[in-house]
């Protein structure tokens, strides 16, 4: 069986002078009579390399140049188009209405391509390798069709084959895409992160209740393709070399990053006024807060308080939530905003200064025999237990997450053989340990849910539900109007803009623990950083307390304000 490999080698063995070679397990030649192993190894046949599929070869470089394999020519925006389509399809499968993709996303995409000059333009600003030659590509109106590049191509073909090793890529324009000229006009670039920004803008436009934190959660859990999304591109589009820089990602971007990218996109595309987000739409704080209240196991009676606070802060107005380039040019962060509102409400009602809420709990406990009153202490215990379990579960999921693709995409072909070998090694080691542990590495993706926690009775519940509890324990009647028993409200002497320049750990040390814990809870629910959330909380607080009299900023960490009537 080794004869076919060793037939060509007829040297005598150095030790025993025989010509009887075999191949060992490692692929090395060894002498069958004296077991002397030599340096020579068996040629490994690379299964994916197909030498017969060369199209054009030139005189330069000879056989060392890797000739383009059989496959169509494609440009970067086509690749991203496919990825975007797959992402949108995944969202539709999860329950988003198809309108989002057909009407909104496609239009956005086309408008983006047009504005950035990558398609749908009579003279494309996309520079090709051969300077001065503008190439015109026709694209079908149907995003599904995979069109060929037709008349380009004598030139770019030659350009492709005559390129040297360092500019090797599968697509036609990866190199020019990454060139300095394109990078300077940054807003017109496509990247994996940009696809998420596009989807987010489209979702906001179609007023789907999927917030940015939900979207990122779906991406993290793998329901929406992002990491290794390039594997789903059709086989004819070969990804090689420099394409890796664009299509290969090793991180899921954070909330802040995608949000700012979406903001930039809106500015770049100069979109008209968005469809209004009224109180009836699910992105408006009044309805979105219901969802977060339920997730945080807070009683339903809290919702009217949230709405009142929202009105006081002037956030009920739909113009604040609808993006319009003149009136409201900034993209609101619906999820973070609503969470901040809830935090401020809870802080108002419970105090959250490490003292008031426990006193209120005592009182509620004393007054209440039936157990129908909402008790902050009980809430804290129940939610904390569930939170720590959920955080531990999430850490484990993060640890077990597999990032490596089935088809590796490498920057340079030189490392391909090494990469294939290490892949083989890694797979075998993984197999060995999988067998040993009896648990396969790839997790089965369960159905995603809008909620992080499940409150209620039952085996899979995270804890008992406190939604039906009454708030009577913490409210008193004053002039016939229920008002919070807690009569003072504290604020850190910090504004939202000052928060940017401070380290969160410094600020966090000055805050009461209950407040910090509540921040952590919502950070877990939304998967954002605490500093980010705290900034928004400070902003909302400023809006709420605005017009409450001119109070000089006292030096010190806390400001206490008397709560006025909330009629």
Partner 1 sequence: MDDDKGEPGLLEDSDGEADLSDDKSSKGENYNLSAINPQYKETWRTSSFQHSTKTCLALMREALLHHRWQEAAEYMACYTQRLEEPKHGPVVQDKELIWRIGTEILHHHPNSKMEDYNNIYERMKDSGFTNYLMISLEHSFHLLQNGHIKDAKHQLSVAESWRHGKKSAAQYKMTELILVYKGLLDYVMWCDKKSTLNRAEYPDRLDNQDMNNLFRAASVHLKEILKKPGVWDPFILSYVEMLEYYDDHEEVIRVLKDYAYDNKFPPNPNAHVYLYRYLERRNASQEKLMKVLKVLCALVPSHELMLEYSRLLLKSDQITNIHKALGIVLEMLDFASWRSSLDAWNLLKAIIKKLKSQSNWKDSVAEKMAARKDWWPALHFTRFHASKDSEELKEVKASLTKVLCPGLMLQYTAGQTTTEEGTGKKTSKRKRMSSISQL
Interface residue list for partner 1 (CB under 8 A): 24-26, 35-39, 166-167, 175, 178-180, 183-184, 186, 191-193, 242, 244-254, 257-258, 260, 395-396, 398-404, 408-412, 415, 418-419, 421-423, 425-430, 432-439, 441
DSSP bridge pairs for 88: none
Decide whether 30 or 205 has the Cβ nearer to partner 1. 30
H or E segment at 484? strand 481-484
Residue tagged 């790839």 (tokens) = 442
CB of 217 vs partner 1, minimal distance in Å: 14
Strand ordering across the sheet containing 21-23: 21-23, 28-31, 37-41
Question: How many residues does this entry show for the chain?
Answer: 567
Q: What are phi and psi of 560, to 5 degrees?
A: -115, 135
CB of 27 vs partner 1, minimal distance in Å: 10
Decide whether 92 or 419 has the Cβ nearer to partner 1. 419
CB of 6 vs partner 1, minimal distance in Å: 17
Which tokens is 171 given?
């697509």
Decide whether 245 or 282 has the Cβ nearer to partner 1. 245
Decide whether 70 or 186 has the Cβ nearer to partner 1. 186
CB of 326 vs partner 1, minimal distance in Å: 25
Decide whether 16 or 432 has the Cβ nearer to partner 1. 432
CB of 319 vs partner 1, minimal distance in Å: 29
CA distance 37 to 19: 13
Decide whether 37 or 273 has the Cβ nearer to partner 1. 37
Decide whether 228 or 345 has the Cβ nearer to partner 1. 228
Residue (of 536, 550, 557, 567) closest to 344 by Cα position = 536
Q: Are 551 and 562 spatial neighbours (Cβ–Cβ below 8 Å)?
A: no
CA distance 276 to 263: 17
CB of 396 vs partner 1, minimal distance in Å: 7
CB of 433 vs partner 1, minimal distance in Å: 4
CA 224 to each of CA 132, 215, 524: distance values in angstroms, whole numbers, following the listed order: 40, 8, 20
Q: Are 501 and 404 spatial neighbours (Cβ–Cβ below 8 Å)?
A: no
CB of 335 vs partner 1, minimal distance in Å: 18
Q: Which conformational region is residue 356 in: left (phi greater than 0), alpha (psi within -120 to 50 degrees), or beta?
A: alpha
Decide whether 207 or 259 has the Cβ nearer to partner 1. 259
Q: Are 282 and 207 spatial neighbours (Cβ–Cβ below 8 Å)?
A: yes
């Amino acid at each position: 069986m080794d004869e076919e490999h060793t037939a060509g080698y007829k040297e005598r063995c150095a030790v025993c002078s025989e010509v009887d070679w075999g191949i060992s397990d490692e692929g090395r030649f060894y002498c069958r009579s004296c077991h002397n192993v030599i340096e020579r190894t068996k040629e490994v046949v690379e299964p994916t390399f197909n030498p017969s599929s060369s199209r054009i070869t030139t005189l330069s470089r000879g056989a060392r140049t890797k000739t383009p394999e059989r496959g169509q020519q494609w440009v970067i925006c086509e690749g991203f188009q496919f990825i975007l389509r797959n992402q949108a399809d995944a969202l539709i499968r999860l329950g988003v209405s198809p309108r989002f993709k057909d009407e909104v996303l496609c239009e956005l995409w086309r408008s983006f391509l047009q504005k950035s000059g990558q398609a749908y333009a009579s003279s494309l600003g996309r520079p090709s390798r051969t300077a001065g030659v503008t190439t015109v590509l026709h694209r079908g109106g149907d995003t599904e069709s995979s069109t060929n590049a037709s008349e380009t191509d004598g030139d770019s073909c030659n350009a492709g084959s005559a390129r040297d090793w360092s500019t090797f890529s599968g697509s036609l324009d990866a190199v020019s895409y990454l060139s300095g000229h394109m990078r300077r006009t940054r807003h017109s670039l496509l990247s994996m992160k940009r696809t998420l920004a596009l989807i987010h803008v489209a979702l906001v436009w179609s007023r789907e209740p999927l917030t940015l934190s939900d979207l990122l959660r779906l991406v993290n859990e793998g329901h929406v393709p992002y990491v290794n999304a390039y594997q789903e591109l059709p086989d004819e589009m070969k990804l090689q070399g420099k394409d890796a820089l664009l299509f290969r990602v090793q991180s899921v971007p954070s909330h802040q990053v995608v949000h700012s990218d979406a903001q930039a996109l809106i500015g770049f595309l100069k979109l008209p006024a968005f469809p209004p987000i009224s109180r009836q739409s699910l992105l408006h704080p009044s309805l979105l807060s219901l969802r977060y209240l339920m997730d945080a196991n807070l009683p339903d009676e809290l919702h009217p308080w949230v709405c009142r606070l929202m009105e006081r802060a002037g956030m009920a107005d739909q113009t604040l939530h609808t993006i319009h380039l003149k009136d409201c040019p900034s993209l609101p962060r619906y999820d973070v905003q609503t969470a901040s509102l809830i935090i401020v409400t809870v802080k108002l009602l419970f105090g959250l200064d490490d003292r008031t809420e426990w006193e209120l709990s005592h009182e509620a406990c004393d007054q209440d025999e039936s157990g129908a009153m909402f008790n902050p202490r009980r809430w804290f215990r129940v939610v904390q237990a569930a939170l720590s379990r959920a955080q531990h579960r999430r850490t484990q999921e993060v640890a077990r997450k597999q990032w490596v693709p089935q088809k590796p995409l490498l920057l340079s072909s030189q490392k391909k053989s090494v990469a294939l070998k290490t892949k083989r090694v890694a797979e075998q080691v993984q197999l060995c340990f999988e067998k040993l542990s009896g648990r396969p590495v790839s997790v089965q993706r369960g159905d995603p849910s809008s909620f992080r926690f499940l409150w209620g009775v039952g085996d899979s519940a995270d804890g008992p539900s406190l939604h039906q509890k009454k708030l009577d324990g913490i409210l008193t009647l004053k002039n016939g109007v229920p008002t919070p028993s807690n009569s003072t409200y504290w604020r850190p002497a910090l504004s939202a803009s000052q928060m940017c320049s401070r380290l969160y750990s410094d600020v966090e040390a000055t805050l009461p623990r209950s407040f910090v814990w509540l921040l952590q809870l919502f950070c877990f629910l939304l998967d954002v950083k605490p500093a980010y959330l705290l900034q928004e909380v400070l902003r909302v607080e400023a809006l709420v307390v605005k017009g409450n009299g001119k109070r000089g900023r006292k030096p010190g960490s806390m400001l206490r304000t008397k709560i006025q009537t909330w009629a």
